[in-house]
Amino acid sequence: MLPLLYLFIMKKFLSIISISAILFTSCSKNNDVKPVEVPETAGKATLTFDAVAGASDFALNKDFTASGKTWNFTQLRYWVSNVVLINDKGEEYKVPNSYYLMEENNPAETNSAYVYPANKRESINLTDIPAGDYKSVKFSVGVDTKYNSNLSLQAGELSQLNGMTNVSWMWATTYIFSSLKGKVTEGTTVKTIAVETGLDANYKSVTLALPSTLHIGSSKSSTISLNTDVTKITDGVDIMATPTIGASQATVMASVATNYSTKVFTVKSVN
């Protein structure tokens, strides 16, 4: 009788050990399971154009000294269009309908009775950017031929109500690509300046490499900050001899447009 009771007890004991081992193994396996990673989705970024005058922050109605002259500005306006972000694989993301008017200006007259209000705008909010690591940014100053030759077409912020169109340059109205206005003093000579660019030939692109790779995605908000140096807009131009620059001064206007594409913009920081 005792041997049978012993065998019965041992079977029960071994069964308990087996069940415990199975439960322990199951728990161990569950603990080893890694959580499923959720793919990062599209992100957003702020592209800022910080206006400066050399080493100083830009401001209207304030004196700045540069190139042996005293400058005092009443308006800075320019179109930023066709923004492109380039990732570390060389792939381009073209921001759709990207036409933005960057400006710091007093009230401006338009081609109608409407007066465009004083405004300061230095930043662009970009959304739905494919997640990734980006190494450079590209954009153009001005308006491309498709929209510049037909103001009835609308995209982004393009409009005839902002005082950035001109009927005197061509047989049909076209956009003014950039406008810098104010006064320049050299010695005792004071000149009122109006430096404008426009026309298809002066539509210029800018490509800037970022100082470090910038990750853009749903996990964070990213920022690209650029400097826009107004002292570089007329670099190499005798502004005292040609204080008014437009289509009638085609060669000088082309030089100003080239300055926008090669000298005016630099990368300040990325975050």
pLDDT at position 31 is 55
Q: What is the pLDDT of residue 216?
A: 96
Reported pTM: 0.84
- Mean pLDDT for 172-192 is 94
230 domain residue, yes or no: yes
Kindly report the average pLDDT of the chain as a whole number: 88
Position 30 in a domain: no
* Domain-located, residue 1: no
Q: What is the pLDDT of residues 68-115, one digit of tens each?
A: 999 999 999 999 999 999 999 999 999 999 999 999 998 877 766 778
Higher pLDDT residue, 64 or 171? 64
Could you tell me if 63 and 78 are in contact, meaning their C-beta atoms sit under 8 angstroms apart?
no
Q: How many domains does the chain have?
A: 1
Task: Classify residue 202: in a domain, yes or no.
Answer: yes
Query: Among 143, 187, 84, which residue's Cα sits nearest to residue 151?
Result: 143
The pLDDT tens digits for 138-150 are 999 999 999 999 9
**Boundaries of domain holding 59:** 43-270
Alpha carbon distance 174, 167 (integer Å): 7
| Residue 245 is assigned to a structural domain of this protein | yes
